[in-house]
Structure 1
Amino acid sequence: MGGGDKGLLNYRNEPFVVHLQRLLIRVGPVALVTQQGQHAYQQALASVDLSFVHDRWPDRGPLAGLAAGLAWARGQGCAGAFVAPCDSPCLGERWLQRLRSHVEDAPERVHICTVEGRLQPLHGWYPVALEPALTEALAKGERRAGVWVESQKPMVLDCTDLAAQFANVNTPADHTRLAP
């Protein structure tokens, strides 16, 4: 997206990350993990109930952000973290309720959504107890979220009927296609 911070793009007159914060605050404290641009987020979102967490593994991709988020969640006394990428502003209540219900039976396990059979490793629940294993995988050079997630033998939740909520924004055309 031209080097800009996708979480600050607007959807329905608010930054993407505000939509996600409003959704996720229903299940606990919310953090935004950033690798760069943290100051821009803090300025733009000063009035939003949101913690800012720095990604301590530069250029290691989403797994590094997940590790930083899990470390933060552990420090908050949370058992785990509901995870969503900032470029998915369409996620809604049905997704969160379904995932939350799925987690209740086995909160010690990773719970990941699939859409049309495709694993969505950044849409799910991760227990904080996995943070050391994830940090170790990163130290060994692992960067592929799907590979690491599958190694954790996740519980899978089919969300194909909610596919529109999983729309993410990677290009200006994707942003244009979002419904107003």
Structure 2
Amino acid sequence: MNHPLGVILAGGLARRMGGGDKGLLPLGHGTILSHVIARLAPQTAALALNANGDPARFAATGLPVLPDPVEGFVGPLGGVLAGLDWAAGQGATHIVTAAADTPFFPCDLVPRLLLAAETEGTPIALAATSEGRHPTFGLWPVALRDDLRAALEGGLRKVVQWTDRHGAATAQFADAGEPFFNVNTPGDLARAEEML
């Protein structure tokens, strides 16, 4: 398998943060998103950002911005599909997704997702800790993009409902340091500053 492309999912509504783009909130010497980019870029062949609305607000990242290809707010799977469509145009076979509000995810995310899929012989792999699966952190094959589009157009919204149809491997990560800690509230942002 060639090196997967990376897609950062930033299409959420950030209701608990009062709206806006959580990824653009300051963290340390950058933004939450700049920390996510710094972790994902070295693990992937190229990066894009899934977000809806005016793409100009992400111009500083220099990344292509991919809007959801399905109408209405369809959740993370809309971002996965946007990434798969983009990857197909690049001739890639897979993408790996990461959430834009999770600045401390593992630096070996991609190789461990690839290994889990290979070991279990499945097309999809999701990250997990003892708390359960973290379905915004996954390996997704371009070959399933038409299936995903049909599922979304048919009303499906839950990530694991779709991944379970296709068999999803699990890449287990240790809980130490809360690798998938995400910033949902102002209190979480303060905690992220401490964790940094």
TM interval, short-chain normalised: 0.7 to 0.9
* Match of residue 102 from structure 1: 116
1:11-58 residue CA offsets vs partner (Å, 9 max, x unmatched) = 22212222222222222110100022422112x32xx4x221111223
TM-score, normalising length: structure 1: 0.87
* Match of residue 78 from structure 1: 92
1:58-93 residue CA offsets vs partner (Å, 9 max, x unmatched) = 311111111111111111111100110101111131
User: Structure 1 stretches of 5 or more lacking a match?
Assistant: none
> Could you tell me which of 58, 83, 93 is aligned with 1:41?
58
1:87 is paired with a residue whose SS is: coil
* Match of residue 23 from structure 2: 7
> Could you tell me which of 151, 162, 166 is aligned with 1:148?
162
**Separation in 1 of the partners of 2:133 and 2:99?**
14
* Match of residue 137 from structure 1: 151
Contact (CA 8 Å) 1:113, 1:157: kept in 2 or not? yes
* Match of residue 16 from structure 1: 32
1:64 is paired with a residue whose SS is: helix
Q: Does 1:69 align with 2:83?
A: yes
User: Structure 2 stretches of 5 or more lacking a match?
Assistant: 1-16
Go from structure 1 to structure 2 and tell me whether the alpha carbon gap of 1:94 and 1:16 turns closer, same or farther (over 3 Å shift): same
* Match of residue 53 from structure 1: 66
1:36 is paired with a residue whose SS is: coil
TM-score, normalising length: structure 2: 0.81
How many residues matched? Answer: 176
| Deviation of 1:155 (Å) | 0.9
4+ residue segments displaced more than 4 Å: 103-108
The percentage of counterpart residues that share the same residue type is 31
**Separation in 1 of the partners of 2:102 and 2:96?**
14
2:155 is paired with a residue whose SS is: coil
**Separation in 2 of the partners of 1:97 and 1:123?**
12
1:144-177 residue CA offsets vs partner (Å, 9 max, x unmatched) = 1121122221011111345612001111111111
* Match of residue 111 from structure 1: 125
